[in-house]
Each structure stands twice: as C-alpha cells, then as structure tokens.
C-alpha cells in the first residue's frame, strides 16, 4: 500500500489546524506545507522501513519450508529524523510561510513526525504466517 499523497492529507491538516483553533490567511498554506512534509515522511517510512531479522519460524528441517510463527518488528528509516527539519523548512517556504517563526515551526513539525513514526514502529508488528522456503521468507508479510 503506498503512502498517502500531500493532496490526500491536506484536508486532514486543515481540519486539525481548525480544530486547534488556528485562524488566518496563512492557515491554508500552512496546511499544504504540513501535508507535503507528512506525505514525504510517510513515503520514506513505507519505502525505506525494514523488518528486523529474528522472526521465529517453524520450518521443515529438510526442505526449509514452513512459515513464521511469531511477530516481527519494524525498523523505521534511520536517515529520516535528521532530514525532517530541513524538509519541513523547505515545504513551509514553498508555501510562502517565511519569517522568524518558520524555523521553530519546522522543528516542531519534524519532532512531531519523528515521534509519530517512532510510536508507529514500536507499536505495529509484522504478523506471523509469512511463507518460508529454503530457510528464507518467501512472501510479503502483513502488519498487525
């Protein structure tokens, strides 16, 4: 499943900003910057995350065929966190959000995304039941 696009996230960003009581002519531009930053972070999560080794498996000792018997864990992209503040600054600037508050706002956006992605990676697991052939997984897994 691909990550949502900025366009798909934009209304959610508008709703969240509105629900938080933010108003003003820059709110739509802020929502676009927030949606674009989030979409890129999620795309990185989807494309660069890895399943950690060590998933227990039940296999036939001769053929190596079987399936995983326990959950696996996700390692989020390690390079994402240091890149997010600059990405957020870029998206804010692209949407006309400039001034002395831009850098601290970008840091807040980046920190929130890093925390959310970290929580996701710690709470979601790869479901058991991935096919194993020749002592290696042979099919994609599902998330729990």
The pTM for the full model equals 0.85
Handedness of CA 45, 119, 14, 108 (dihedral sign): negative
Sheet of strand 57-59: strand arrangement:
57-59, 66-68, 131-133, 136-137
Domain ranges of the chain: 6-137
Residue 37 tokens read as 């930053």
- Which pLDDT does position 84 carry in this prediction? 97
Those residues whose C-beta lies under 8 Å from the C-beta of residue 129, and which sit 6 or more positions away, are 67, 68, 141, 142
- Which pLDDT does position 63 carry in this prediction? 93
CB 100 within 8 A of CB 89: no
| pLDDT values of the chain reduced to their tens digit, one per residue, 144 residues | 789 999 999 999 999 999 999 999 899 999 999 999 999 999 999 989 988 888 999 999 999 999 999 999 999 988 999 999 999 999 999 999 999 999 999 999 999 999 999 999 999 999 999 999 999 888 888 887
């Amino acid at each position: 499943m691909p990550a949502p696009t900025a366009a798909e996230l934009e209304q959610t960003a508008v709703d969240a900003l509105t629900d938080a009581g933010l108003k003003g002519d820059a709110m739509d531009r802020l929502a676009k910057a927030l949606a674009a930053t989030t979409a890129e972070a999620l795309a990185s999560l989807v494309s660069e995350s890895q399943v950690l080794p060590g998933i227990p498996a039940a296999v036939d000792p001769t053929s190596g065929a079987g399936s995983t018997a326990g959950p696996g864990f996700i390692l989020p992209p390690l390079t994402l966190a240091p890149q997010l503040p600059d990405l957020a600054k870029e998206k804010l600037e692209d949407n006309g959000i400039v001034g002395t508050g831009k850098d601290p706002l970008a840091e807040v956006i980046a920190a929130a995304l890093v925390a959310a992605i970290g929580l996701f990676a710690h709470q979601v697991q790869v479901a058991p039941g991935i096919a194993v052939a020749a002592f290696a997984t042979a099919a994609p897994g599902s998330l729990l």
